[in-house]
Amino acid sequence: MAKQTGLFKVKGTLDNVTFYKSKDGHLAKMKTSLDGSRISSDPAFARTRENGSEFGFSAKSGKLMRNAMRSFIMSSSDNRLVSRVTKIMIEIKNYDTVSVRGKRSVGIGINTPAAVALLVGLEFNIHALLSGVLFKPYALDLGTGVISMPGLVPINDIVYPKGATHFSLTAAKVNIDFANEGASKLVVTNTINLPLDGMSTDVVLTPMAPSSGTGKDFYLLKIEFFQMVNGVQYTLKNGAYNAVSIIAVS
């Protein structure tokens, strides 16, 4: 796929080359002479159909995960999240060593430790990484979902953006069953809101309700930044500096 350069950008088709605009800028690609009906029936394209089928399964699984977490991550995600999650799901699908090619799924592949490891550390906002913002060690109790962070000193343990005066920490536990039509349950914790100062605080984030299910448990941790003006805290730059990450999967 080629990228258009120069002062004038072209849109449309010229001599079997299609010019168009995407998130990556103005691009150009060759038109294909392949017919959709041929791809769907010709034995020569059996591998193509299998790859397409598994890609569809993986993309659906990625959507199921994002939807299950949507209310928690919507203030802290970037516009490339879909592609990043889909890529991971395709890799997880490859760990399905039971199903035939074309039928491999995330629901089976995710039961291997190597597949789970692909999701741990996933950052939802590539422009604000939790691993690059929060440097205070924390402990997660997988049984209760409680996250403990004793002795947090904001000005020492947090890298905060210019203009921020306060921040909030919140966690969530999400159970997702990819093999059961994406059945899911999201439970959030209390939110700790603190000024960005030198005071030490023992942070404890506790799920607000019990969480259980037949799928995998995803544990997420989020930090949001605010600016206080006349006693009111406002989201800093529409959440551009907020970070959330998957810290564990069990």
Between β-strands 25-30 and 201-205, what pairing exists: parallel, antiparallel or unpaired? unpaired
Q: Where are the alpha helices (DSSP H) in the chain?
A: 36-41, 46-73, 81-93, 106-109, 113-119, 154-157
**Global confidence as pTM:** 0.82
Residue 164 contacts residue 227 (beta carbons within 8 Å): yes
DSSP-based three-state secondary structure for 145? coil
DSSP summary character for residue 210 = -
Q: Does residue 124 register a pLDDT over 60?
A: yes
Residue whose structure tokens are 């906002």: 125
In whole angstroms, give the CA distance from residue 65 to residue 22.
25
User: If phi over 0 gives left and psi between -120 and 50 gives alpha, with beta otherwise, what is residue 179?
Assistant: alpha
- Closest by alpha carbon to 127, among 33, 40, 225, 42? 225
pLDDT band at 38 (very low <50, low <70, confident <90, very high): low
Three-state SS at 130: helix
Looking at the domain 130-249, which fold is it? Immunoglobulin-like (2.60.40)
Q: Where in the chain is the domain with CATH 2.60.40?
A: 130-249
What whole-number percentage of the chain has pLDDT above 90? 64
Residue 62: other Cβ atoms inside 10 A: 22
What average pLDDT score do residues 28-43 get? Answer: 60
Name the more confident of 21 and 7. 21
From 5-14, 186-195, 210-219, the region with the lowest mean pLDDT: 5-14
pLDDT at 116: 95
> Alpha-carbon distance 35 to 235, whole Å?
50
Helix (H) or strand (E) holding 24: none
